[in-house]
């Protein structure tokens, strides 16, 4: 069972980086995003005011992490083909971006008639960070933003990534089962979520053993929650937890996932607490129809926009357009939301190996919201379900 990205996989990504730079006629790159740094190195860290940069000289095949001294011991376990250099502290007498510039020079990446790939023109910051842009720092090289190219490179998942996403779905499924089991009138949403998430996380840790560890700061092994989407608040797609108390008749929109090697899945369900009313049953059945339509439309070779186009037509044909709030879904993997998107404005061609959430919703202010979300893998001839929790009304009605 694979629980972390292998060095062999990282080597393959190293070759991907070379191809990107060759195609764009770039000398190398300087990346600041924790996402891209993790993708190419497997190194996960807490991003603060201290810049961390990944440098790569394609011709010399040298990949180097520039980190603050407090991360010096943290990078000792990097694969042997990734080296590391550290600077003292931020802001310091000599700003960290000057150290980044020095390392770029030492790697032979700042020279006349050269161009350097970047994901942003300098460290994005936060935590009170202030500093110069990378282009201001360099003496000679021009810079070219390759963020869109990097995102495109990450769209088609490798067998390793797919394996970890599937393992994530397994534990998200357990967390959701516990969430449903513990949901009852009079219970507070936080109490239910914490209990389900804790028990699923402990089962996950005990089952996977010492080889399992969290990759992302602030995450937990497995989680399931309502995120405030309870009763009439379920009509707010991105509600925030309010510690609501469940009561009979509530519509509950849930979410569950887990982290395996930095990768995640997405599982959402609409549940009914008590016997459904005729109106609840009507919209529940419509949301299943909507999701089925989207799932049946997905296939390799068509643009992402086509899925959204077909689903939007359903809203209009059924007279429920006023209850539409968002596109059909999005890619996911290391990040919960990744490109491409099932949206009218996204013409990306769907390819085998892409992983998507499929989550059209119906949201009726003052009444309730209805949404299922499943994670699916695009195959050569259609899709494969990664999440597999029941979707029918009977299974999701809590007596």
Cβ–Cβ under 8 Å, residues 45 and 71: yes
Give the model's confidence band at 1: pLDDT under 50 very low, under 70 low, under 90 confident, else very high.
confident
Question: Which of 91, 120, 152 represents a domain boundary (last residue)?
Answer: 152
Whether residues 360 and 304 fall in one domain: yes
When divided into structural domains, the chain yields a total of 2
Q: Which domain holds residue 26?
A: 7-152
Residue 269 within any structural domain of the chain:
yes
Confidence of residue 113 (pLDDT cuts 50, 70, 90): confident
Cβ–Cβ under 8 Å, residues 215 and 333: no
Residues 6+ positions from 155 with CB-CB distance below 8 Å:
331, 338, 339, 340, 348, 351, 354
Q: Is residue 377 part of a domain?
A: yes
Q: Give the strands of the sheet with 251-253, arranged side by side.
A: 251-253, 270-273, 397-398
Q: Are residues 200 and 338 in the same domain?
A: yes
In the numeric block, which tokens belong to residue 267? 């599982």
CB atoms within 10 A of CB 375: 27
Establish if 355 belongs to a structural domain: yes
172: pLDDT strictly greater than 90? yes
Long-range CB contact pairs, 185-189, < 8 A, 24+? 185/246, 185/247, 185/248, 185/273, 185/274, 186/245, 186/246, 186/247, 187/245, 187/246, 188/243, 188/244, 188/245, 188/246, 189/225, 189/226, 189/228, 189/230, 189/241, 189/242, 189/243, 189/244, 189/245, 189/246
**Domain match, 223 and 240 both:** yes
Residue 2 falls inside a structural domain: no
Q: Is residue 295 part of a domain?
A: yes
CB atoms within 10 A of CB 381: 8
Parallel, antiparallel or unpaired: strands 329-331 and 338-342? antiparallel
For residues 247 and 370, state if they share a domain: yes
Contact criterion met (CB below 8 Å) for 97 and 136? no
Asked if residue 375 and residue 258 are part of one domain, the reply reads yes
Residues 309 and 261 in one domain: yes
User: Of 91, 125, 152, at which residue does a domain stop?
Assistant: 152
pLDDT for 297-311, tens place per residue?
A: 999 999 999 999 999
Final residue in a domain of this structure, among 124, 152, 180: 152
The mean pLDDT value of the chain amounts to 96
Burial tier of 150 (Cβ tally within 10 Å: 0-12, 13-18, 19+): buried
| Same domain, yes or no: 177 and 144 | no
Please report the pLDDT score of residue 4 as a whole number: 95
Whether 230 and 359 share a structural domain: yes
pTM of the shown model: 0.96
1 domain-assigned: no
pLDDT digits over 222-271, tens only? 999 999 999 999 999 999 999 999 999 999 999 999 999 999 999 999 99
> Would you put residue 24 in left (φ > 0), alpha (ψ -120 to 50) or beta?
alpha
CATH number of the domain within which 330 lies? 3.90.230.10
pLDDT at 218: 84
C-alpha distances (whole Å) from 13 to each of 43, 129, 264 are 14, 30, 19
What letter does residue 188 receive in the DSSP assignment? B
> Does 193 share its domain with 321?
yes
Which CATH number is 17's domain given?
3.40.350.10
């Amino acid at each position: 069972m694979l629980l972390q990205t292998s060095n062999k996989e990282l080597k393959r990504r190293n070759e991907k980086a070379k191809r990107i730079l060759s195609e764009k006629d770039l000398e190398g790159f300087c990346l600041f995003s924790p996402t891209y740094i993790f993708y190419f190195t497997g190194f996960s860290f807490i991003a603060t005011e201290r810049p961390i940069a990944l440098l790569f000289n394609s011709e010399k095949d040298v990949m180097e992490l520039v980190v603050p001294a407090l991360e010096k011991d943290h990078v000792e376990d990097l694969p042997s083909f990734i080296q590391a250099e550290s600077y003292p502290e931020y802001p310091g007498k000599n700003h960290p971006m000057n150290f980044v510039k020095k390392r770029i020079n030492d790697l032979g990446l700042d020279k006349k008639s050269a161009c350097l790939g970047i994901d942003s023109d300098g460290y994005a910051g936060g935590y009170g960070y202030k500093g110069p842009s990378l282009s201001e720092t360099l003496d000679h090289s021009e810079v070219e933003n390759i963020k869109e190219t990097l995102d495109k490179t990450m769209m088609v998942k490798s067998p390793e990534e797919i394996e970890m996403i599937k393992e994530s779905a397994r534990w998200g499924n357990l967390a959701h089962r516990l969430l449903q089991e513990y949901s009852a009138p009079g219970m507070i949403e936080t109490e239910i979520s914490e209990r389900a998430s804790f028990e699923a996380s402990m089962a996950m840790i005990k089952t996977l053993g010492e080889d399992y560890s969290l990759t992302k700061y602030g995450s937990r092994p497995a989680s399931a929650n309502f995120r405030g989407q309870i009763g009439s608040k379920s009509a707010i797609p991105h509600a925030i937890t309010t510690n609501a108390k469940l009561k009979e008749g509530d519509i509950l929109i849930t979410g569950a996932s887990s982290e395996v090697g930095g990768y995640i899945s997405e599982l959402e369900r609409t549940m009914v607490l008590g016997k459904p009313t005729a109106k609840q049953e009507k919209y529940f059945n419509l949301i299943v129809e909507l999701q089925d339509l989207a799932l049946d439309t997905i296939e390799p070779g068509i643009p992402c926009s086509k899925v959204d186009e077909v689903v939007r037509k359903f809203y209009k044909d059924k007279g429920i357009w006023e209850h539409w709030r968002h596109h059909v879904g999005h890619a996911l993997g290391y990040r919960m939301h990744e490109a491409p998107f099932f949206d009218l404005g996204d013409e990306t061609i769907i390819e085998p190996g892409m992983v998507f959430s499929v989550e059209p919703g119906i949201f009726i202010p003052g009444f309730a919201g209805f949404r299922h979300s499943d994670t699916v893998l695009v195959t050569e001839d259609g899709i494969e379900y990664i999440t597999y929790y029941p979707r029918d009304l009977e299974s999701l009605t809590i007596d």
